[in-house]
Structure 1
Amino acid sequence: MSFNIDRVVTSLRNARSVLPRTVDKTGRVLPLPSPRAVSEAISDLTSSLFPRRFGGARANSNEALDYFVGHTLGRALDVLQGQVIRELAFTASLSSEGLVDADQTSRVIVQEFADSLPAILEVLYTDVRAAYDGDPSAKSQDEVLLSFPGVRAIIYHRLAHALYKLDLPIIARIIAESSHSQTGIDIHPGAEIGGSFFIDHGTGVVIGETAIIGERVRLYQAVTLGAKRFSVDENGALVKGQPRHPIVEDDVVVYAGATILGRVTIGRGSVIGGNVWLTRSVPPGSNIVQAQARSDVFDSGAGI
C-alpha cells in the first residue's frame, strides 16, 4: 500500500508558512542552536568537571587525568562554539546592528565561559556536600553525585546560568529543559542560586527566572518559587524581565508542596511548612505552617 506523501509534504509546507522564518540580510534562513549538539556539549562538560564519576576516566596520575579533561573539554567547547555562533546570528537578525565577526565573538564568549568552570566546580562541591549532609539515606558523596536528581539539576543549572549571563538565553534554556526532562525539576537559567543548595527528592520543583536564593537553602519536592502576576504594557503585551519571583535568604528550608509567589522575601533562617501558600514577605526566623481548622462547641450559651 502506497501513501500520498507528496500531499502531506505540501500541506506541512503550507502549515509552516504561518511561522516567521529567521533570515539574515541576504534572505538566507538561519540555523538555530541544536538541542542535540548542546546536550552533547553539556555531557562532555560534566565529564570534564567530574572526570572519574561521569567521564569514566581511569587515569592513575594527574598528568593522565589532565589529558583526559583537556581532550574532553576541548571537544565540548568546539561544539559549544558552533552553537554560540548560531545563537549570535539569530540574535543579530532581530536587531539592526548585525553581527560583525561571529567567529571571534563566539570564541571570546566561550573562553570566558571556560574560564568560569573552576569557580563553578568549587560551588558544585558545596552542593554535593549539602545533599550528603542533608539526607540521612545518603551513604557517600559519590552516591549523591551519581544518583540524586537534585544534584544533577544544580549541575546543569550552574552551567546554564553561566551561559545565560553571557547573553545566550536560547542555549541556556535548552540546557535547563534537558535537566527538566531528566529530573522533573524546572529551574530557569536566570535564577540566582547560592552555594550549598539542596533539592531533596525534587519532582515538581519550579524556580522562576528572577528568583534569588541564598546560601545553604533546602527545598523539597513540589515547591514553587513563582510569579504572582505579570505586568502588561499599554498594548496588553507582557512586560519581560521584571523582578517577579521570590527572594529566599540564607539557611531557609521550604517543605514539600509549598508555593511562594511574587517578589516577596523569605527571611534568613525561616522554615516554610508543607503545602503553605505564601504571597507575602516574612521576617528572619519565621516558622510558617498551614492554618488549622478549629471547631468550638458552646453548651448552654457558654462563652457567649
Structure 2
Amino acid sequence: MDSLIKKLSKSHKDCPECPSPKVVHTFFENILGLLFPDFASELLKEEDQIGEKIEEIRHKLSRILIRNKHLHSGEGAEIANQFFEGLERVYDLLQQDVQAMFDGDPAAKSKTEIIRCYPGFYAVVAYRVANLLHTLGVNLIPRMITEYAHSKTGVDIHPGATIGERFCIDHGTGVVIGETTTIGNCVKIYQGVTLGALSVEKSDADKKRHPTIGDFVVIYAGATILGGKTFIGEHSTIGGNVWLTKSIPPKSKIYYQAKMYNPESDQTDTYIIKNEG
C-alpha cells in the first residue's frame, strides 16, 4: 500500500492544474451559450451584458492557460485575446454550417431545430472552437473539448482537421474524422463515415495520414476513406459502405464495392459496381 501511495502522490504532484475536465467542459459550455442563446443559462439581451460575458470567459481562459504553461509556448493572456479575436470568424462559419444543414435536410423545420437537436451541429461547434485553440498552439485542451462532444454525440472530430465552409453532418453517430483530414467547402457526410489513416505507425505522426475531400462531395452512411494520399475529387458522391484507399477524379459516383467469388478463377474478385466519372 505504501508503494501505491507514493506512486499516486507523485502523479498528483505532477498534475497540479492539469486542467481538470470539468474546467474545460465548463469553458466550452460558456462559449456555446455565448454563441447560441439556445444553450445559455441566461439570455444576454443588452450589448453591455454580452461584452461583460466575453470578458468573464476571456479571463477564465487566460487563467487556464497561465496555470498550464506546459500546454502552449506563448503567453496565456495573449492567446486568450487571440482566441476571442478569432471567435467572430468561428461564429460566421457556424452560421453557414447551420444554413447548410437546414438546406440539406427536408426533415428540419427550422434552424432552431438544427441548433437545439442535431448532434452533428453540436459536434461541429465543438470542433470549430477547438480548432481555433489548436491553431493558436494550444495542446490537450482542444482534444478535451472535441472528446467531450464525442461523448455526447458519437461524432469524433480531431481538432487538427481542416474543414471548410458549409459543413454538414447528418445524423452523426459513428462519424470519425482524423487529425490530418482536409475537407473542402459544401461537404455533407452521413452517420458511420470514417475519414481515417492507412498507417498507425508512430513514426508517421507528423505526416499527412488522412484523406482530402474536395468541394461539394457527399459521403453516405458507413463509407470508409483512408490514406493521406487519397483525394476525393469535387462534386463526387460516395455511396454507403464504400471502402476507398485510392483517389477518384471529380464528379465520380462510387456506389459501393463488393467482393464476389469467381468460380472460373477460384478467386475472390473486387468489383466497383458503379463508378460514373
Q: What TM-score do you get using the length of structure 1 for normalisation?
A: 0.79
Confirm whether residue 139 of structure 1 aligns to residue 118 of structure 2: no
**Which of 40, 44, 52 lines up with 1:55 in the alignment?**
40
The amino acid that maps onto 2:18 is: L
Summarize the Cα distance change of 1:14–1:269 in structure 2 as closer, same or farther, 3 Å threshold: same
**Which of 279, 293, 298 lines up with 2:245 in the alignment?**
279
Confirm whether residue 245 of structure 1 aligns to residue 217 of structure 2: no
Gaps of at least 5 residues in structure 2 are 265-277
Residues 131, 144 of structure 1: 8 Å contact kept: yes
Gaps of at least 5 residues in structure 1 are 1-6, 23-28, 93-101, 232-236, 299-304
Confirm whether residue 166 of structure 1 aligns to residue 131 of structure 2: no
CA distance in 1, matches of 2:149, 2:71: 24
**Which of 126, 130, 134 lines up with 1:156 in the alignment?**
126
Q: Which residue of 2 aligns with 1:268?
A: 234
Residues 44, 75 of structure 1: 8 Å contact kept: no
**Which of 62, 67, 79 lines up with 1:86 in the alignment?**
67
Range 32-41 or range 114-123, more displaced: 32-41
Q: Which residue of 2 aligns with 1:35?
A: 21
CA distance in 1, matches of 2:260, 2:199: 32
Summarize the Cα distance change of 1:292–1:177 in structure 2 as closer, same or farther, 3 Å threshold: closer
Equivalent residue of 1:195, what SS? coil
The amino acid that maps onto 1:68 is: Q
Q: Which residue of 2 aligns with 1:97?
A: none
Q: Give runs of aligned pairs for residues 223-234 of structure 1, distance below 5 A.
A: 223-231=193-201
Summarize the Cα distance change of 1:244–1:297 in structure 2 as closer, same or farther, 3 Å threshold: closer
CA distance in 1, matches of 2:208, 2:43: 46
Summarize the Cα distance change of 1:137–1:17 in structure 2 as closer, same or farther, 3 Å threshold: same
Confirm whether residue 193 of structure 1 aligns to residue 163 of structure 2: yes
Residues 223, 257 of structure 1: 8 Å contact kept: yes
Equivalent residue of 1:269, what SS? coil
Residues 72, 139 of structure 2: 8 Å contact kept: no
- Which runs of at least 4 in structure 1 moved beyond 6 Å after TM superposition? 17-21, 293-298
Residues 42, 76 of structure 1: 8 Å contact kept: no
What is the percent sequence identity of the aligned residues? Answer: 40
**Which of 184, 203, 223 lines up with 1:258 in the alignment?**
223
Query: In the TM superposition, what whole-angstrom CA distance separates every residue of 1:269-294 from its partner, at most 9, and x where no partner exists?
Result: 00001001100000000101223577
Q: How far off its partner does 1:90 sit? A: 5.1
CA distance in 1, matches of 2:203, 2:260: 42
Bigger fraction of residues in strand: 2
**Which of 198, 203, 211 lines up with 2:173 in the alignment?**
203
Q: Give runs of aligned pairs for residues 106-145 of structure 1, distance below 5 A.
A: 106-145=76-115
CA distance in 1, matches of 2:175, 2:257: 23
Q: How far off its partner does 1:188 sit? A: 0.2
Summarize the Cα distance change of 1:245–1:171 in structure 2 as closer, same or farther, 3 Å threshold: same
Equivalent residue of 2:140, what SS? helix
Count of matched residue pairs:
263
Q: Give runs of aligned pairs for residues 1-20 of structure 1, distance below 5 A.
A: 7=1, 10=2, 12-16=4-8
Q: Which residue of 2 aligns with 1:69?
A: 50
Range 166-175 or range 42-51, more displaced: 42-51
Residues 246, 265 of structure 1: 8 Å contact kept: yes
Residues 196, 224 of structure 2: 8 Å contact kept: yes
